[in-house]
């Protein structure tokens, strides 16, 4: 009986780890999509956009919250004399998250 409990516990831990990994990868994908959106608005080339995406992902891994990242993206867009209000930025990121989650589901 003890072995069965240990096997079940290990299976649940593996499922949790897999779920968290999928969530992390989807979030990274959403940040890449956000960087692509911002890169287009800022007139960045592909390489600069990829570097920007890596920067956003690094900031997220370091513990910066999504709200902080969105504010940074807004400021970066504003530096190009383009504006986007907070609610539109939130909506854009929401679409990025939804698209990334859908892509993750499609690959399972």
Q: What does the pLDDT read at residue 1?
A: 61
HSE-up (13 A, CA, CB side) for residue 101: 9
Query: Residue 55 has what pLDDT?
Result: 98
**What integer pLDDT is reported at residue 13 of this predicted model?**
83
Rounded distance, CA 72 to CA 32, Å? 14
pLDDT of residue 20: 87
CA angle 97/103/104 to nearest 5° reads 90
Contacts of 101 by beta carbon, 8 Å cutoff, 6+ apart: 26, 30
Using CA atoms, how far residue 82 sits from 41, 59, 70, 73, in Å, is: 8, 23, 15, 11
- What integer pLDDT is reported at residue 11 of this predicted model? 78
Q: How many CB atoms lie within 10 A of CB 25?
A: 14
- 93 burial type by CB count under 10 A (0-12 exposed, 13-18 middle, 19+ buried): buried
Segments of the chain scoring below 70 in pLDDT: 1, 108
Greatest CA separation found in the chain? 67
Going from N- to C-terminal start, the domains of the chain cover: 27-107
């Amino acid at each position: 009986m003890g072995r069965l409990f240990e096997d079940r516990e290990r299976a649940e831990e593996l499922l949790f780890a897999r779920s968290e990994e999928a969530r992390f990868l989807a979030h990274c994908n959403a940040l890449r999509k956000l960087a692509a959106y911002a890169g287009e608005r800022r007139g960045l080339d592909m390489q600069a956009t990829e570097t920007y995406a890596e920067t956003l992902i690094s900031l997220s891994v370091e513990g910066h919250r999504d709200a902080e990242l969105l504010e940074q993206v807004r400021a970066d867009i504003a530096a190009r004399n383009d504006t986007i209000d907070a609610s539109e930025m939130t909506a854009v990121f929401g679409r990025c998250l939804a698209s990334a989650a859908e892509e993750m589901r499609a690959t399972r």
